[in-house]
Amino acid sequence: MNKRILFLLAGIIVIELIGLSLGLIRIKQSQNQTNQEAGGNCGGIAGLECPENYVCYYPEDANFPDAMGECIPQYVDRGSVNTGVSDWPTYTNEQYNFSIQYPNDWGVTTYSPVETHFTPLSGESMKFIVFDYSDAPATATEMTGLGFTKQELDQKKTEITTNAATQNINDAPVYMSGAYDKSAATLIRKAEFFVGDDYVLFTMPVMSNLLPDSKYVVDFGSPEQLDAMIAQIERGEAGSDATQKVEMFDAMLRTLQVQ
């Protein structure tokens, strides 16, 4: 009788231990899922994946294939971004009639009325350049400073609309390309498009997490800061032509972020 009781107690203990182990596994899985949803860890030996609208960001000294990354937002919905930037300095472009505030630790350099670079503390820069067709000279002999002739702009427009790498964004052709800056060890993504006859060039540094299934991640530190700047441009641009530029800028930026 005593042996039967002992066997019964042992069986109950084994069942309880199995149940406890399964419970701990479920708790761990729940914690992992919560961390993932909040932008937790990814990668590693287990190959943890990020949830939808997140990408895995790895540090520069990551040791693959065992490296652990962090899930960060692919982009932020600017409808929910708090753009309380009253303490930021202001950049004003009189030619294109808009102003924008930028983070205190960013620099801004204006190379010409059409070319402005916003530079985060990291040293890389976001460039937003507009070449106004109406101001372009007809021939190269009339060229002064930075810009294109009308003939060159016409040729570039043809190249963009016929290039196999061109994408349709907001029902307009946008030529997407990339180049690796060896000295800066940075991949530069570039988008070129036309709004009417005006040529717009936008470049942005991005970085790859170096995995075959990787997505490129914006290297600007705070997505909220960048989104706050774009939201300002959307509100601050004036005129129908400028509004089209901003819509293209927005759609193309999102395309760059998920390439």
pLDDT of residue 125: 65
Q: What pLDDT score was predicted for residue 5?
A: 56
Are the C-beta atoms of 162 and 222 separated by less than 8 Å? no
pLDDT value, residue 157: 93
All residue ranges of the chain with pLDDT < 70 are: 1-39, 53-65, 72-86, 93-100, 111-116, 119-125, 140-146, 180-187, 205-246, 249-250, 253-259
Give the H/E segment covering residue 62: none
The structure's pTM equals 0.51
Q: Report domain extents, the chain.
A: 2-73, 78-258
> What pLDDT sits at residue 78?
42
pLDDT score for 155: 92
Q: What is the pLDDT of residues 54-88, one digit of tens each?
A: 666 666 566 666 777 777 655 444 444 444 566 78
97-121 burial code (b ≥16 CB/10 A, e <16)? ebebbbbeebeeeeeebbbbbbbbe
Burial class (CB in 10 A: 0-12, 13-18, 19+), 203: buried
What is the reported pLDDT for 180?
Answer: 66
Give the per-residue pLDDT at 159. Answer: 92
Residues in contact with 221: Cβ distance below 8 Å, sequence separation at least 6, in sequence order: 120, 121, 122
